[in-house]
Structure 1
Amino acid sequence: MRTLYPAVLLAPISTRDEEAECCALQVRDEQIDFIASNAESLEEAAECPWCEPLAVRAVHSGEMVGFLMHALDPDDNGRWLYRLMIDRHHQGLGYGRAALRVLVAYLRDLSGGPDITLGVAPENIGARNLYASEGFLETGEVLDGELVMRLRT
């Protein structure tokens, strides 16, 4: 039997209302230490021209259910997934997996190296399992206390 995941759309965050909607999204209390806040991520994106923050929207309702940010690292010409978060009210419904799949497809069409790299907190077992199930492999590297995982596209 094939598992179906909700359809998601990745959309630019281009208005103050969308920024406020994004900043209102929250992870579960036990996940707070695993990821920077969306407000911090939007500030980082405003300062780094190579970062692209995107809203994760449910296609059926248009509701913002999560946030992600990727970047083309100018140092190594590699694609990085800097953030992926799904609001606590929408976790466990497949939105994270769906967003990751849409992002990987999107990044394949952009310039940059053939890999997608990310860092994940070692204690964030749920995220590590999600990334591994989508083909990301732990490289053995640790960057700023995070395990580095890479997907060959």
Structure 2
Amino acid sequence: MSEILTLHGLPFPAELLYAPAHNLWLREEPDGSVTLGLSAYGCALYGEIFAFTAKRAGLHIEAGRSFGVIEFAKAASSARSPLAGMLVEGNPRVQEQPALINRDCYGEGWLVRIRPDDWPATRADFVSGEQALAALVEQMRLDNFDPQAPGVQALQWKS
């Protein structure tokens, strides 16, 4: 495992890319697809996740449009893609065991894989490392995030 950066006790692996406004992380895969998952910050905001339903594989997803629905604490939210591309697959394990998202958001709890329309051009839209932490600090400010608020669940990172 690479370096883990932390912010308010939340872990952020330095090698991943982040889309802070979407509360997502991204990982480039050898086959050209990109894996997306909910970041530790997203998990802290949503709390316990009860269900995730991905849209069907083969659909073209536009940037800013939904790739699935996340259900949490008597509410639901569209998971919106930070990039355009074809939905390759939803994570079947997460659909059967949504608690994986909270327990292992950067590992087995990934959400979907997308084959981006233009990854070389789109990749520059995402941040990593210290740049990601700075962007997350700004997103938390915009969200009025209080890490001490009741209901905020900090993840216990397994190192």
State if a TM-score over 0.5 links the two structures.
no
Between structures 1 and 2, the one with greater helix share = 1
Q: Normalising to structure 1: TM-score of the pair?
A: 0.27
Q: Normalising to structure 2: TM-score of the pair?
A: 0.26
